[in-house]
Structures are given as C-alpha cells and as structure tokens.
Amino acid sequence: MNEVFHAIDDLFTNGLFTPLKALRFSGSWWGSNAINFGFVIVGLVYFAYWMKESKKFKNEGTEDLPK
C-alpha cells in the first residue's frame, strides 16, 4: 500500500506539476499568474451567467415557488 502512495506522489510531483514549475521560474509575474487569471475569468463568466438566469426566473415569478 505504501508503494501506491509513493506512485501517486511521483505522478503529481514529477508529472502533473512540471508545467507549473516552468511558470514558477519564468521570471515574469504576468506569466506566473496566467493560470490564476484564467480561473478568475472563467469564474466571472459563470457568475454572470448565474446572475442572468436568476434574474430571468425572478422576473417570471417562478423563483422559490411553494411546494
């Protein structure tokens, strides 16, 4: 069982995080934070969609109908 956890550790440390290590030592603040900016933009887009749908249901009067 110990080997399974070591394999998972090796996968993440030497495999999946390798691109992030390259960004870490790129020397550019903007380049290092590109992934964070992407997550923020995606979050804002989904939040705007959620608010639009919420307003649509409120205007129709179908929000929080009694059961």
pLDDT of residue 47: 98
∠ CA 49-51-52 to the nearest 5 degrees? 65
Amino acid at 49: Y
pLDDT of residue 67: 64
pLDDT in tens, 10-61: 999 999 988 888 888 878 888 888 889 999 999 999 999 999 999 998 888 8
Q: What is the CA radius of gyration of the chain?
A: 21
Amino acid at 50: W
pLDDT of residue 11: 94
pLDDT of residue 48: 98
Write down the domain spans for the chain.
2-60
Q: Is the confidence at residue 8, as pLDDT, over 90?
A: yes
User: What token pair was written down for 60?
Assistant: 């129709």
